[in-house]
Amino acid sequence: MLKIAVLASGGGTNLQSIIDSIDAGNLNCKIEMVIGSKDEIFALERAKKKGIKTYVVSKKEYKDTTCDKILELTKGKVDLIVLAGYLSILQGNILKEFKNKIINIHPSLIPSFCGPRMYGLKVHEAVINSGVRYSGCTVHFVNEEVDGGAIILQEVVPVYFEDTKEILQKRVLEKEHKLLPKAIDLISKNKVEIINGKTRIK
């Protein structure tokens, strides 16, 4: 069974969608651990409630060694690292050790509205200000380039003139909660192949 580590920085609704999919029998994997980027985040409460091991690896405490600490906790223990609302950028050895084994969910249609400093409500605000008619979410592999790894799955939502960034965020989040478990399911079934920087779903 695929063993995963989930990294989170906030409320953890995406983590919850993974937990719920496993509980419903729709996802055959085990969450070995949840790593939070700070103490007080609700994602850690969600994990503890399910009896999942939790760790806090904060930038404040670990500074430049944050990614190495995460690598120390995960190496040999999990097959896949899932960034579910994790706000820091992974760098260094962890990207080599877990090459094509780290995925992220981003709340826009990559390659639009992504990259450094594009996270949370800022993404939805930029989408609304641009006047585009569609937004969505993307699950992708993580590499050295922020939001630049091979795209696994995307889902589209409409953007309406009256939307606020909060309303759009909610509409996108509903899709995220289906897309992330689906991507993990495909990986667990060995159905995601990377060819020349693009993925093919077998």
- Binding region for ligand GRF (CB under 6 A): 8, 10-14, 43, 84-85, 105-107, 120, 173, 176
Residue closer to ligand GRF (CB basis): 38 or 65: 38
SS3 state of residue 39: coil
Q: How far is the CB of 201 from ligand GRF (least distance, A)?
A: 21
11 is in an annotated binding site: no
Burial class (CB in 10 A: 0-12, 13-18, 19+), 126: middle
* Annotated catalytic residue 177: no
Determine the number of helices (DSSP H) and then strands (DSSP E) in the chain. Answer: 7, 9
Residue closer to ligand GRF (CB basis): 12 or 181: 12
104 is in an annotated binding site: yes
Q: How far is the CB of 55 from ligand GRF (least distance, A)?
A: 17
Separation CA 113–CA 99 (nearest Å): 24
143 is in an annotated binding site: no
Residue closer to ligand GRF (CB basis): 67 or 177: 177
What contacts 137, CB < 8 A, 6 or more positions away?
Answer: 105, 106, 107, 108, 109, 154, 155, 172, 175, 176, 179
Q: How far is the CB of 28 from ligand GRF (least distance, A)?
A: 21
Q: Which residues are catalytic?
A: 106
